[in-house]
Amino acid sequence: MTRKQKKTLIRIIIAAVLLVICSAASYMIKDLPWWAQMAMYLVPYLVIGYDILLKAGRGIIHGQVFDENFLMAIATVGAVALGEFREGAAVMLFYQIGELFQSVAVGKSRRNIAALMDIRPDYANIERDGVLVKVDPDEVEIGTVIIVKPGEKVPIDGVIAEGNTSLDMSALTGESMPVSVSKGAAVQSGCINMTGLVKILTTKEFGESTVSKILELVENSGAKKSRSENFISKFARYYTPAVCIGAAALAVFGPLVRMVLGLSPEWMSWVMRALTFLVISCPCALVISIPLTFFAGIGGASRAGILVKGSNYLETLAKARYIVFDKTGTLTKGVFEVADIRAEGVDKSTLIEYAALAESGSNHPIAKSIQAAYPDADKSRVGEIEETAGEGVTAVIDGKKIAVGNERLMARAGAKIKAADGAGTVIYAAIDGVYAGYILISDVIKPTAADAVSALKGSGIEKTVMLTGDSEKTAAAVAAAVGVDEYRAGLMPEDKVAIVEELLDKKPPKSALAFVGDGINDAPVLSRSDVGIAMGALGSDAAIEAADVVLMDDNPTKISQAIKTAKKCMAIVYENIIFALGVKAVCLILGALGLANMWLAIFADVGVMVIAVLNAIRALRIK
């Protein structure tokens, strides 16, 4: 509890004891005059309610008439004026108990959520004159060597200068599988060093490091408010005055109607109803539970490696019906690998060996993928190499003339090729002018891609579309393998925007379209779609900037997890709105009819708030 809360607690206890004494006194002394009773009850009333009365007074001076302090002041002063001294003091006491409870509950859940997201490192170890010193990460300059011991958080982004270890990246990506790193590997701040001591050469300042970026993003996510949040704050603005007017009307028109009907007016009973009405109506349960739900949802998602930049995006994501993927980097790894080798007249291994040797001098991505398929190539066997841009490579290996490249190169080498089938880039090879087969190189589909697409179908997505700049053949093969509904191939970057726009027109009303990309070169599409999702963002600042939802690792199953989280969060938001408004509406009607007493009124205020807050906390748990 904070000091303020403790002070309130002490006041509550004193006022409660005084109230009991007063009740006992008025019970034992039978005919106490009214002024003596009033003076007696005024003591606990003022002890517990002086600040509310002051705030209400100040509010009136500043033109803030209809706030909850005003409601309580009117309700209790009204009770006192009617001669219900004990009621007046008791209502004030219960109100304060409720407020304290609310403040403790909200404070506690706020801190719980904040603690879960606390990946901020407190210090960095640097070596000064042979001694390890702990310094504020903010003070560490780029190019400093920091030391991270096992069990410690990596405080600043950098490159490993010395040592091997495995890193627990779960705070960043939500993946619990440790990652092994050694000298030269880039490491992100926020992961936990598990096994060995490492020295890290920092490449960024703390403020620009991954951990700072993530924290900033989550903390600022409140800036983009969702429609439901805006609805609630707007609602609260009209609601309190409306309730006050309603209460006043109840107190005045109730008796008047009775008088017209020829009954006794019963002013007392109607004014009491109006006061109960006022107590029921405090708007805080609504106002608190909605942002708390979003905060918990965003907090829980960030632990799973899903960063949502604002509650409005969570809301949009929950409505997603169309998902558009950029192929490379999302459904496929974006890395070229040898997918197939078809040899003619030689062994497969001989073919790839010669090809790798021939390509050994090249830095072309295709060449690199062939080199990767045969890593033990002995370069000393390679004689003269000739590289022709747009065709391929010819080289002399073991005295044989090897040509590796496309159809044009084969034609020049005099080799007669057989047309290859299969999706991807085809590299033909010829040995001494005789066709020796081909190597098929393609982008590799992520192992989880098909599962991810079917999981999306299960979470209410109506249409999945894949966009790519690749050839029709490649696109068709990938689309069939992962199970997307539609694909468009051979696209230029600006075509992708046009297609997203066309789909935006086609989608069902009130639904949303999400675009998933790797955050590189697709910023226009990310911003044009209703919600832009960037994947594999760990270590890529551009992706973090461009997208609305950022998936820290590159596992596409996280997309459906993000949508499920958003849906759960929205369900809780609606539950809370309906529950709080419903209970309040019922209690208000009961109060107006004279069926609700102060206890019910207090429950309608505090009880609803507490239940709504507890419900909101559920959004934190992400499966």
Partner 1 sequence: MKKSYNIEVDCANCANKMETAANNTDGVKNAVVNFMALKMNVEFEDGADAKSVMKNVLKACRKVESDCEIYI
Q: What is the contact surface with partner 1 in residues (CB under 8 A)?
A: 4, 54-55, 58-59, 62, 64, 67-68, 99, 102-103, 106, 110, 113-114, 219-220, 222-223, 225, 233, 236, 283-284, 287-288, 291-292, 295
Q: How far apart are alpha carbons 261 and 255 in whole angstroms?
A: 10
As given in the structure block, the two tokens for residue 247 are: 């209460």
Nearer Cβ to partner 1 (8/360) = 8
Q: Are 135 and 121 in contact (CB under 8 A)?
A: no
Residue 155 Cβ vs partner 1, minimum distance, rounded to whole Å: 21
Closest Cα partner for 89 from 71, 75, 72, 76?
76
Name the helix (H) or strand (E) containing 600: helix 598-602
- In angstroms, rounded to a whole number, what is the distance separating the alpha carbons of residues 439 and 419? 12
Tokens (6 digits) for 290: 């909605």
- Centroid of chain to Cα 399: 61
Which residue number, 278 or 357, has a Cβ lying nearer to partner 1? 278
Q: How far is the CB of 57 from partner 1 (least distance, A)?
A: 10
The residue (of 110 and 333) whose beta carbon lies closer to partner 1 is 110
Nearer to partner 1 by C-beta: 97 or 200? 97
Q: Residue 326 catalytic? A: yes
Asked if residue 289 lies in contact with residue 546, where contact means CB atoms within 8 angstroms, the answer is: no
**Which CB atom, from 18 or from 113, has the smaller least distance to partner 1?**
113
Q: What is the DSSP letter of 414?
A: T
User: Least distance to partner 1 from the beta carbon of 66, Å?
Assistant: 11
In one letter, which amino acid is 479? A
Which lies closer to partner 1 via its Cβ, residue 177 or residue 223? 223
By beta-carbon proximity to partner 1, the closer residue of 282 and 417 is 282
157, 326, 518, 553: the catalytic one is 326
- Paired tokens of 623: 């499966």
Q: Is 376 helix (H, G, I), strand (E, B) or coil?
A: coil
- In the structure encoding, which two tokens stand for residue 416, read together? 């007669």
Q: How far is the CB of 222 from partner 1 (least distance, A)?
A: 3
Spatial separation of the C-alpha atoms in residues 580 and 616, rounded to whole Å: 12
Least distance from partner 1 to the Cβ atom of residue 592, Å: 23
Token pair, residue 566, equals 């958003």
Minimum Å distance from CB 234 to partner 1? 10
Query: Who contacts 250 (Cβ-Cβ below 8 Å, separation ≥6)?
Result: 270, 273, 274, 277, 592
| CA 232 – CA 214 distance, rounded (Å) | 28
CB 308 within 8 A of CB 298: yes
- Distances, alpha carbon 28 to alpha carbons 24, 31, 87, 143, in Å: 6, 9, 18, 81
Q: Is 83 helix (H, G, I), strand (E, B) or coil?
A: coil
Asked whether 205 and 152 are in contact (CB, 8 A), the reply is no
Q: How far is the CB of 55 from partner 1 (least distance, A)?
A: 6
Catalytic residues: 326
